[in-house]
Structure 1
Amino acid sequence: MIRHLLLAGTAAVGALTGLAGALPADARAMWSKDEANRWYGGQPWLVGANFTNRSAINQFEMWQADTFNPRQIDQELGWAQAMGMNVMRVYLHNMLWENDAAGLKRRMKQFLDIAERHHIRVMFVLFDSCWDPDPVAGPQRPPIPGVHNSGWMQAPGAARLADASQYGKFEAYVKDVVGTFARDKRVVAWDVWNEPNNAGGGNYKPTPRKTELVAGLLGQVFDWARSVDPTQPLTSGLWTGETWDRQDTLDAVEKIQVAQSDVMSFHDYNWPEQWEKRARQMASYGRPVLCSEYMARGNGSTFDGSLPLGKKLKVAMFNWGFVDGKTQTRMPWDSWKKPYTYEEPTVWFHEVLRADGTPYRPAEVALIKQLTTEANGAQR
């Protein structure tokens, strides 16, 4: 059973379980709290990053055949292993599957083979509501100089989200990808949709009726994933708002996230006091808690502040970014308004390592290694 934080009260989840809706006849049931906690009790303390290799600007460059870079991935995951990381959160895209399903799955297997050599497991993300709402496959545009995550693509994207005739493709994508790896122990979990009610960010035009459209689709995505009987938990993380343990403050999307997640997850890029408050709110549902995004130095979120709390409360921890590269997320969010084209930011926003593998801040790498060794022992 989960210790510390997960002993918090569980009454808040009861009022939400009816929101899950009827599952397909062949779907596995949502895990009970006991099942979820037994699973988590068998895991080491999970610590890692949101991973995009440094030569990829987005999901397409990471996974498409022409730009997939296993040698670089192997090098970077070796760096992660050396500092004690044992998990990575990695984004997919539905269009990758639509354009080359066999190739995508083959490269996912190759990625998992590489990760396994470094004793790293993977949480894949199926859909994402952040940044560019008009994804285009094939060769990707170069980074906008000085701008944070200037080439990242939403999945499924605005046009596909608004077109119900596309939903059959989404269903096939989810069932095929999750079904292919449903019993692969190297996959630690499935994050079915990243920040689903996010308007998008950057300078992009917001998608009309986005929250309404996502609320109509997100439950189906959970259902499709469950229908192939994955042995791994499903989740989708809350990221905005102040009172996640109160049903009356959750929007329609958040209610589905809370009601259908086997394990709870959240994002927080604030000072440690706020991080702990949010972690305890998520723990009120009586399920394991994963912090699937944190660490934005200029915003008050640091390894020094949040990672020791994660260890104390046994919350899985995934910081944003690993090696500095084409995503340019060392630049802060405000770079969309004032690009850092003539000077580096005074403090790197995200990322752990420079492109050559040396630490941006050696004390951070030392802390990660110290805490993971204390929790899990020395890496093999």
Structure 2
Amino acid sequence: MKLLKLTMGALLIGLTFQNCAKKEEKKEEATASSREIWTKEQAKEWYGKQGWLVGADFLPSTAINQLEMFQEASFDTATINRELGWAAGIGMNTMRVYLHDLLYEQDSAGFFKRLDVFLDIADKHKIKPMLVLFDSCWDPFPKLGKQRDPKPGVHNSGWVQSPGLEALKDSTQYPRLARYVNGTVAKFANDDRVLAWDIWNEPDNPNTSSYGKVELPDKVDYVLPLMKDAFTWARAANPSQPLTAGVWAGDWATPQSLKPIETASIEESDVVSFHNYDKPEDFERRIKQLQQYDRPLICTEYMSRGNGSFFEGFLPIAKKYNVGAINWGLVDGKSQTIYPWDSWKKTYTKEPDLWFHDIFRKDGTPYRQAEVDLIKSLTAAK
């Protein structure tokens, strides 16, 4: 009996070592098949084939957030088709579109099916979207199911973070986040309808004016290593499209002046992306700072009229330097981003005279015809 126990014990130990070895082999195989960060030459070659990229951060006017956009019960293809048609009509050729880890967890097959339909609609309008995987902005407590109604007069009152706070601080949930990133990128890794993958939007945003009191005080300590992992998970799918994560605040004058999360964002990115909601001269200064990395540049958020960030000030500069330009917001809708950021602190009882974001009203008429005319002239839209 003692001999039998020893034999069984040895067998179990042997099987354990075998399993560990197999796991390590699979890990090595995955690493071996993962592509490297693109060289500067590869990035420039890709960018040279795209033409000048102009678009908007897109959410259909009937959705309050990423979940409502893509959940089966509220997936509104008619509105998506109509509003992307308006974008194409002024010469836009890309959109930046947010996904969510909970959509994958809820029903990955259904999520992929709806994303495929969305990409078909966009492709029909000759629009190639940049897909955003994670986002640190606004509500840190996302929930599946019917989404809440907008708070009247409040900017992005229902937008949700991905991953939410609970998942971010719970490392036992990281394997499912890895499956989401790797699975989603792998599904569309060779899909010509997808422009690029934005790994994490404003990763260290503390949401001070909105949800600051309930945010993790050391949020960036969780986000930084997870963002690096997310780049690895995405790259393991060997995507034909570039990966990026934008820098959005801080001092970008030299590599030494960057915060660690900005350093990681730039070092891991195939193409460099950034946000700027300031004056035109600051926009141009930021472009020149980022040119030191000698990679294609895409501004993935700009245009906040209340800040002095207008199409007429920014788009000609972006075209001059061949920088992709993606402004926040296409159509006034449930996101209510025509109201400024300070609507979280200040009460607005009617539509502001000066829209903060967005280009079109819900009926398709432009907020400002002169802006639409400018965009059409710069993109040479007929």
Residue 338 of structure 2, aligned match among 298, 312, 330: 330
Residue 149 of structure 1, aligned match among 153, 156, 162: 156
Structure 2 CA distance for aligned equivalents of residues 24 and 166 of structure 1: 22
Partner residue in 1 for 2:16: none
Residue 234 of structure 1, aligned match among 236, 243, 256: 243
Per-residue CA deviations over 1:112-143 (Å, capped at 9, x if unaligned) read: 10011111111000000000011111111100
Partner residue in 2 for 1:369: 376
Matched residue SS, 2:129: strand
Letter in 1 for 2:373: A
Contact 1:258 1:264 in 2 (8 A): yes
Larger Rg: 2
Residue 265 of structure 2 corresponds to residue 281 of structure 1: no
Per-residue CA deviations over 1:284-327 (Å, capped at 9, x if unaligned) read: 10000000000000101000000010111100000000000000
Partner residue in 2 for 1:11: none
Matched residue SS, 2:286: helix
After TM superposition, the score normalised by the length of structure 2 is 0.90
Per-residue CA deviations over 1:61-115 (Å, capped at 9, x if unaligned) read: 1000000000110000111111110100000000110001111100110001001
Shift of residue 145 of structure 1?
A: 0.7
Structure 2 CA distance for aligned equivalents of residues 222 and 332 of structure 1: 32
Q: What are the within-5 Å matches in structure 2 for residues 194-233 of structure 1?
A: 194-204=201-211, 205-233=214-242
Partner residue in 1 for 2:257: 249
Structure 2 CA distance for aligned equivalents of residues 275 and 56 of structure 1: 30
Percent identity between the two aligned chains? 53
Structure 1 CA distance for aligned equivalents of residues 46 and 245 of structure 2: 17
Shift of residue 37 of structure 1?
A: 0.6
Letter in 2 for 1:128: D
Partner residue in 1 for 2:18: none
Residue 280 of structure 2 corresponds to residue 290 of structure 1: no
Shift of residue 249 of structure 1?
A: 2.0
Letter in 1 for 2:259: D
Per-residue CA deviations over 1:24-71 (Å, capped at 9, x if unaligned) read: 333100000011011111111010000000000000110000000001
Residue 258 of structure 1, aligned match among 246, 266, 269: 266
Partner residue in 2 for 1:351: 358
Higher relative contact order (CA 8 A, sep 6+): 1
Partner residue in 2 for 1:191: 198
Structure 1 CA distance for aligned equivalents of residues 273 and 208 of structure 2: 21
Structure 1 CA distance for aligned equivalents of residues 190 and 226 of structure 2: 25
Structure 2 CA distance for aligned equivalents of residues 317 and 207 of structure 1: 32
Contact 1:269 1:301 in 2 (8 A): yes
Shift of residue 201 of structure 1?
A: 4.4
Q: Which runs of 5+ in 1 are unaligned?
A: 1-22
Contact 1:194 1:237 in 2 (8 A): yes
Partner residue in 1 for 2:177: 170
Partner residue in 2 for 1:12: none
Structure 2 CA distance for aligned equivalents of residues 249 and 160 of structure 1: 31
Per-residue CA deviations over 1:181-219 (Å, capped at 9, x if unaligned) read: 000111010000000011124421222311111111111
Contact 1:133 1:200 in 2 (8 A): no
Structure 2 CA distance for aligned equivalents of residues 257 and 79 of structure 1: 33
Distance change (3 Å), C-alpha of 1:286 and 1:232: same
Residue 86 of structure 2, aligned match among 79, 89, 92: 79
Letter in 1 for 2:228: G
Q: Which runs of 5+ in 2 are unaligned?
A: 1-29
Partner residue in 2 for 1:299: 307
Contact 1:130 1:201 in 2 (8 A): no
Structure 2 CA distance for aligned equivalents of residues 278 and 36 of structure 1: 20
Matched residue SS, 1:76: helix
Q: What are the within-5 Å matches in structure 2 for residues 7-46 of structure 1?
A: 24-46=31-53
Distance change (3 Å), C-alpha of 1:232 and 1:274: same
Contact 1:265 1:282 in 2 (8 A): no
Structure 2 CA distance for aligned equivalents of residues 61 and 69 of structure 1: 9
Matched residue SS, 1:191: strand
Structure 1 CA distance for aligned equivalents of residues 256 and 36 of structure 2: 26
Structure 1 CA distance for aligned equivalents of residues 243 and 276 of structure 2: 20
Matched residue SS, 1:265: strand
Letter in 2 for 1:325: G
Matched residue SS, 2:325: strand
Residue 318 of structure 2, aligned match among 294, 310, 315: 310
Matched residue SS, 1:240: coil
Matched residue SS, 2:326: strand
Matched residue SS, 1:187: coil
Provide the alpha-carbon RMSD of the alignment: 1.1
Letter in 2 for 1:306: F
Contact 1:148 1:335 in 2 (8 A): yes
Letter in 1 for 2:239: P
Matched residue SS, 2:32: coil
Partner residue in 1 for 2:15: none
Letter in 2 for 1:209: D
Structure 2 CA distance for aligned equivalents of residues 84 and 346 of structure 1: 26
